[in-house]
Amino acid sequence: MMAGSVSIAGTGERIGRGLPIEAAVHEVVRDALAGAGLSLSAIDMVVTVGSDVLDGGMVGTRSGIAGAYGRELLTVPSSAGHAFATAVSMLDSGQAGTVLLAGWGEGTKFAALDGRIIQADPFYARPLGADASAIAALQAQRLLADGRMSLERLTEYGAAMRMRADLADDKTAGMQEWLAPNWSDGACALVLAAGSGAVRVVDFGTAFRPYCPDPADLDPAVWVREAVERIGHTFDEDLAAVEAGGPSALCEVAALAPILDSAGWRPLDPRVNATGGGAMAFFGPATGLRHIIAVADALADTSGSGIAIDLAGPIGQATTVVALQGAKQ
């Protein structure tokens, strides 16, 4: 396992519907810098994550608001986990001393339009493939048929997350609570720095499957185990907070299984997904930053450890596991 030499120094987040996204990006960056006790001039590098499609633009659209002008800029739109990994490796390899990691997404755009048309084929404006809910349903049916998941557990988890989520009043047109992604707008920022801080980055691990994986390989638990193996750590000591953010609650509860089984926790433990999970406020590939922040906040002023699982992609197959630890002695 890598000895983590990177710490999270400051965080900021805004989640909501109809969020003025430019203002939100500006505010979360300001909050993260204030939390770190730094001014923008102290930042060496900016890493951004945001869907090309959700953004409706390209690299520069919001990078300036995120503080990129005059600094180094990398844009990694595939997932929050990948962007976080980018920031950590840039620091660990000595290519930067301070990194501002910012992500955003206007998920409510997807709620208003057929996501397949936006996602798939702008030249022909023709839907391509199943939409997100249909893909999640296929994944659910497979896990239920294989006996890897019980319907009761899914339903219970989905209902609990909905109650925890800030957006609990939003209806999902009668879809199962464990299936439907709840589109939201959001912006998040973290300041990461080389050296010690209140919350240390222990390590990260990634796992990935293309679209669509083999029918026998649809279980996020398998992907999480694979990512954890890359870290080489069992997380069974001093575990204080666990977050999982994915496109559906089904995906999250399945992904949580290896961590919770190892720790002996129930999915409804209050230390699990205090945010309500990613599916309750999903704003595209940047969503996972919110869960890294939630774990970091929970670990501040503690010596405990925590796990954030980012599940990007239609069925969460771009998996990143981030291990954090509070630095209090």
Which residues here bind another protein, judged by CB under 8 A?
2, 45-46, 51-53, 56-61, 63-64, 68-79, 82-83, 85-86, 88-90, 92-95, 109, 113, 118-124, 128, 204, 206-211, 226, 230, 313-314, 317-318
CB 312 within 8 A of CB 181: no
Q: In this complex, which beta carbon is closest to another protein, that of residue 37 or of residue 195?
A: 195
Other Cβ atoms closer than 10 A to 306: 27
Amino acid identity of 321? V
* Shortest separation between residue 3's beta carbon and another protein, angstroms: 10
Determine the Cα–Cα distance for residues 297 and 42; give it in Å rounded to an integer: 22
* Shortest separation between residue 204's beta carbon and another protein, angstroms: 8
* Shortest separation between residue 168's beta carbon and another protein, angstroms: 28
179: its two tokens: 């299936």
- Beta-bridge partner residues of 6: 194, 201
Residue linked to tokens 């709840």: 182
Q: In this complex, which beta carbon is closest to another protein, that of residue 227 or of residue 281?
A: 227
Q: In this complex, which beta carbon is closest to another protein, that of residue 93 or of residue 329?
A: 93
240: its two tokens: 């204080």
Q: In this complex, which beta carbon is closest to another protein, that of residue 70 or of residue 270?
A: 70
b/e burial code for range 195-228 (CB count within 10 A of at least 16 → b): eebbbbbbbbbbbbbeebbeeeebbbbbbbbbbb
Q: In this complex, which beta carbon is closest to another protein, that of residue 273 or of residue 317?
A: 317
* Shortest separation between residue 143's beta carbon and another protein, angstroms: 20
Determine the Cα–Cα distance for residues 13 and 44; give it in Å rounded to an integer: 21
* Shortest separation between residue 214's beta carbon and another protein, angstroms: 10
Q: In Å, how far from its chain's centre is CA 122?
A: 27
Q: In this complex, which beta carbon is closest to another protein, that of residue 44 or of residue 156?
A: 44
